[in-house]
Structure 1
């Protein structure tokens, strides 16, 4: 697990290439995955860090919208080009393109804002949710399986993920409910850099959100022939928070159609602060449908 945390820190420590055209160019490594494809949360987080490197600390990311264009190859580094689209009095906009072999694998636009006063309200955190310490870890549930994906999810992720209800790793949820909640926390203490914590939450936001679609249709990760791929991802940061402290990530799916499933998520700190909101659409292909 220490190696997983080190891999996360290394992935987010992108380097300035020194190249200067009309864009800022950065380079970052690809983390290993058993499927051979770059984890979507990794390239989202790296793209956000790249954009943040073109701004000073007075402007923090408040939203991003990204499209996954091609699968990334874990055997190659990723090049990030950042276009400084706009700098206003309170807001800045950046576009980040992530490339491998000269082709974009992700296109993201992000907005940054100075800290301003204004209206303030939020939805309330769900009540009666079990404490994360009372729930089984991923390793408790699938760590005994001799399969590369199961071993990776159980022991090689930089986040501890604990499902509030029975996870859909091995068996389906037959209730038909289109929602779930998970507790997430980075497995080790992160540096006190707000950019890093926002990026880490973006990284983790891609883990389980489409499982809300699975639950609605009685699917699980072992359903024969099921294929899943993220299409796009949006995230809004509302309040500062730490990714190395427990965060409740509630998830629900309002719609699935045309081989696509839409899922929405909210991230709450343990004391009930709404930290972020998330939306993702993905392809979910099921044989016979």
Structure 2
């Protein structure tokens, strides 16, 4: 019996250890972190006019990943009460009891500290300061102050959401310039239809949790119209990328125009479905938004390399 029980206990402990690690990783919202980092590398390559160096890229991406993961972890710690009320979030590690709130908070603070040390050692003071500001803006200003108080929370949350662009540029140059600010504007505007589509899909969850998202306090038509306006804003700002960035050419010009038109068309299609009273399928716009940002980032990188 002893010979059998030992390996079984070891296997159980291994599975338990892996599950715990996976739970801590999930606190960082890795899919969201991945989407944010998609914009960091193009910004770095635009700043460098090519490949900025493997060491700098790794330090910036890892540091940015840890900073975003820290902000998301603190968000999960603070929102654990409302996460229990929402079907989309009730299985997260804290409300499900897998990770204790205090441990999650310590983990988030530790991630933030490591990220800033890494960025401070291997990038620039401005990039480090921007990362620190982004963590504070998302975890404190957005999560603790604005999210439960105003439906404008998404707009304020879009500022740290677009910060990886500025961090990536500053990591290379130690300063900011117009291409970085325009790219920041694209990502900022892009986030509104992206997140409002998701919030519309889960509007009842937010209503039950008492979170005043736009999809809760405004009618569907209003949400759709504002999403259309921000999609147009994304297109208009994106058309400035080529004029302010000498190293970009016709590849990016065609990509920004085509992808922006697609994003606008899909936002109008969502609004039209809402007005028609048919299933509005907000997640279709959500999916298109992810593809839009991914393809735009690829186009920027390709243009710089070519």
TM-score range, shorter chain: under 0.3
- Larger of the two Rg values belongs to structure: 2
- Structure with the largest fraction of helix: 2
Q: Structure 2 length as normaliser, TM-score? A: 0.26
The structure whose RCO (Cα within 8 Å, separation 6+) is larger is 2
